[in-house]
Amino acid sequence: MRPVGTILRCLAIVATATLALALAGCNQFEPRDKRFYYRALWNFSLREDLAELDSEFNGVDFGHSNLYENLLLTGGQDVSAIEDRARKETLAFIATKPRLNPNEEAIAPTYMKLAWRAQNTFDEAHALHRATYDIAVSDEPDKDRAIRNVLAYYKESAYAITSKQLDHHRLDSFPYSKAFRQRFPLFNATIWSYHYLQVAVYDPLLAARDLAAKTHAVRPILATYRRYLDQPPVEWTFMPLTAELSPQFAARYPEVAHIFDNLHMLHDNISDILTSERLPTWEAKRAEIYRVVNTYYLATADGTNPMIVQLDGEHHH
C-alpha cells in the first residue's frame, strides 16, 4: 500500500495536469451570450399572417447551416457532397414548408463549435430581418418608429454588423474569394436566390395596403424564387443587393439595407473560407473567419474599417 503522502502528491499532479489542459482549451470555448429578440405586439406577424413566405425563410435558415457543416466536414473539396447531396437535402427541407425556423445548432454542430461568434453575428442580423418582415406585414401604424426601435436595439449588440455601406467588391477580392462559387456554382446560385427572396419582398410588402394585398404582392416573387431553386441562376456574377430589388426600402431605411447587404457578403466570405485550400486546417479557417468578422464587419470596427465606402459620391458596385 502506498503512503498517504504519495497518493496525495499523485492526486495533486493529476489535478494540476487537468487544470492545465482545461486552461489550454479555454481559447476554443466561447461564451454563448445570445440575446432575446426585440419584444413587441407585432412579433410573429409574418408567421401568423403570411405563413407561405415565412416558411420559405425557415428553409433559408436550414440551407446556410447545412452548407457550412458540409463544407467544413468535407474540406470544401467534394463537389458531389455539396452540389448533389447537401443541396438536395436543403431543397427537400424547403419543400416541407417548415412552420418554425429550425435549430441551426443541431444542423451544424461542428461549425457552431468552430466559429460560434460568427454564427451569432448571423443570428443577430437574421433577427433584424425577421423583425422588419413582421413590422411590414403587421398592422403597426407607425412602421418608421418600429423599425427605428428594432434598429437601435440591434445596434446595442456586440455582434451588430456595421450599418455603413461596405465596398463589397473589395471584400470579394481576398486571395480565397470566389472559391465557393467557382467550385459549387449550383449551391452558390441557390444561396444567392435566398438573398434575392430576402430583399425583394420589402418594397411590395410595405407598399401593399392590407394583408390580402401583401399576400398577392409577394406571390410573383415567390414564384420567381421557386423557379430559381429549380433552375439556379448560375449566370449571376454577384449577389443581389437591397437597393437593386427594393429601392424604396433602401432609400427609406439605408442603415438597415446596408446591414443586410453586409450580412450577405459575409455569408459569401465564410463560404469561400470554408472552401479554400489556402486555409487548409480548421484552425486557419477559424482564425480567418474571426479576422474578417472583427476587422471588416462588426460595427465596433467602424473607426478603423478600411472597407467602409466614403461619402464621396462614388458608387462601388
In a domain, 316, yes or no: no
DSSP assigned state of 280: -
The three three-digit cell numbers of residue 35, written as one number: 440575446
In a domain, 90, yes or no: yes
In a domain, 249, yes or no: yes
In a domain, 27, yes or no: no
In a domain, 11, yes or no: no
In a domain, 57, yes or no: yes
In a domain, 1, yes or no: no
The total domain count for the chain is 1
66 Cβ partners below 8 Å, 6+ apart?
A: 86, 89, 90, 93, 107, 108
Tell me the per-residue pLDDT of 15-39, one tens digit each, with 9 for 90 and over: 433 333 333 333 456 777 889 999 9
Which residues make beta-bridge pairs with 166? Answer: 308
Tell me the per-residue pLDDT of 227-272, one tens digit each, with 9 for 90 and over: 999 999 999 999 999 999 999 999 999 999 999 999 999 999 999 9
Domain residue limits at 190: 41-301
Tell me the per-residue pLDDT of 66-85, one tens digit each, with 9 for 90 and over: 999 999 999 999 999 999 99
In a domain, 7, yes or no: no
C-alpha span between 245 and 202 (Å, rounded): 9
Among 189, 162, 165, smallest CA distance to 271 is for 189
* Reported confidence tier of residue 200, pLDDT bands at 50, 70, 90: very high
- This prediction has a pTM of 0.89
Tell me the per-residue pLDDT of 142-196, one tens digit each, with 9 for 90 and over: 999 999 999 999 999 999 999 999 999 999 999 999 999 999 999 999 999 999 9
Quick one: pLDDT at residue 312? Answer: 57
